[in-house]
Chains A and B, each alone.
Chain A
Amino acid sequence: MQLLDRYLPAIKFWLPKKQRDDIAAELEANLRAEIDDRAATLGRPLSDDEIAALLKQHGSPLLVASHYQEEKHTVTFGRQLIGPVVFPFYWTAIKVSLVLLLIPGIVPAVILGTQAHGQPFAELGHALVRIARLFLPALLLVTLVFAAIDFGLRRFGILEKLGNDWDPRKLPASARQAKQVRRSSSIAGIIIQSLFILWWWNFGIPYLVVTNGGAQIHLAPVVTSLYAPVLVIMFINLAQHWVNLAEPDWRWLPPATGMLTSILALIFLFPLLGRSPLISISELGGLPLNAREAEEIQRILGHCVTSLWLGILIVGAVFAWRLVWVVWQTVPRHPSGATKNGMARV
């Protein structure tokens, strides 16, 4: 029953998390009952080929799992735009977009409001209005992209075509599946990196914030020169997620990429350590920031850069350790024994 032991984890991988174990247990019970029943009819256990044919008829893991997506989780506007199969990925993209807009929008506003004017709530309010203005087009764009994906899947019957082409015998062993880079992780990584690249491409490193007084605080050229290097790092990460989506067995790739990008980030950030000034201020007719307030913001940013550098150093070290661990696990230390594959055990 090795094929069944490979098939069920492959289905579980795509199932809704909350019901994953329960659905898989029920599917297993039904499949084993069907195999028992056919074996009883034939008067002998089924061969691997016969079990493979049964599983193929049952459907590809992705197709089977797609039937269990909750039907209420859809986006409907007159007609269904995003169905239950695509909805979980769409919902992740929406949450990621919101986080990508919230963090860079709110954090500088709170720092500045607290340190420069003592008006964190006013700055926060302005920041939220700016975020809302950006989020609505982002929501529309993400919805359109996923509606197009859903339309393509349905119009061209892609899930069904994938279902026809799959072979149960080519599924990896369950132990190997457990160690693979999860597809959900690769897909989430692709979505996050793509959105971040889009955001970075459009907005780059703009002003930090406009204060109530009208002063516009920019990052100094030494910081804005990081625009292209950050883009390079994001593209390297994006490429890693795409490669792992196609090659989930390459477990060494995420830590290797993490280590590489950490080293690059450390090199790029190094010139900023202890460097002054990191900001420049242009006053637009309002009350100017006084020298002490500007110095305070400069000091905070200096601490942020140092903390970021040390943080990346630690993250890089963790990735290096993970890479060593993965490679050590992968190196074969015992000769693998011969396996025989006769009639399947039920």
Chain B
Amino acid sequence: MTLDLHSDLFNNLRLELRRGLLIVAVLAQLRREHYGYTLRKDLAALGIEIDEGTLYPLLRRLETQGLLESEWREENNRQKRFYKLSRDGRAILKQLLAELEKINSSLTRII
């Protein structure tokens, strides 16, 4: 296996692994209201880097799925779109966190 192929494979697997976990992280962080940029900044400060091209469309998709609510509001003389977890989002997050914990404890035993 060449180094390039190895690196491509690792990146693909890493992306797959991150995809679901990022959604959990975003939902969890949006228990408190944020707009796009501050959410990205806060997540980065907590060690979860998400590029804008992934995060901003993801927020819209989660809202379409009913997991988030949003509203345009003025802050510091600028209109911004604030997102927060919806009632359905809270219920789903609770289930996702329970699932994550289950997987995590199983993985810990396997590894």
Contacts and interface: CB of A to CB of B under 8 A. Distances in A.
Interface residues of B, number: 18
Identify which of A29, A63, A68 gathers the most chain B CB atoms within 10 Å of its CB: A29
B54 A67 contact: yes
A29 B35 contact: yes
Interface in A291-344: none
Interface of B: 35-38, 41, 51-54, 56-57, 60-61, 76, 78-81
Interface size class of A (residues with CB under 8 A): 20 to 34
B53 A59 contact: yes
The majority secondary structure among interface residues of chain B is helix
A30 B57 CA distance: 12
B79 A30 contact: no
Contacts of B60: 19, 23, 68
The majority secondary structure among interface residues of chain A is helix
Interface stretch (A31-39, A88-96, A124-132, A259-267): A31-39
A26 interface: yes
B57 A68 contact: yes
Contacts of A275: none
A58 B52 contact: yes
A191 B81 CA distance: 38
A171 interface: no
28 contacts: A23-B60, A26-B56, A29-B35, A29-B36, A29-B37, A29-B79, A29-B80, A29-B81, A30-B35, A30-B37, A30-B52, A30-B56, A30-B80, A31-B37, A32-B78, A33-B35, A33-B38, A34-B37, A36-B76, A37-B37, A37-B41, A58-B52, A59-B53, A63-B53, A64-B53, A67-B54, A67-B56, A67-B57
A42 to B, nearest CB: 16
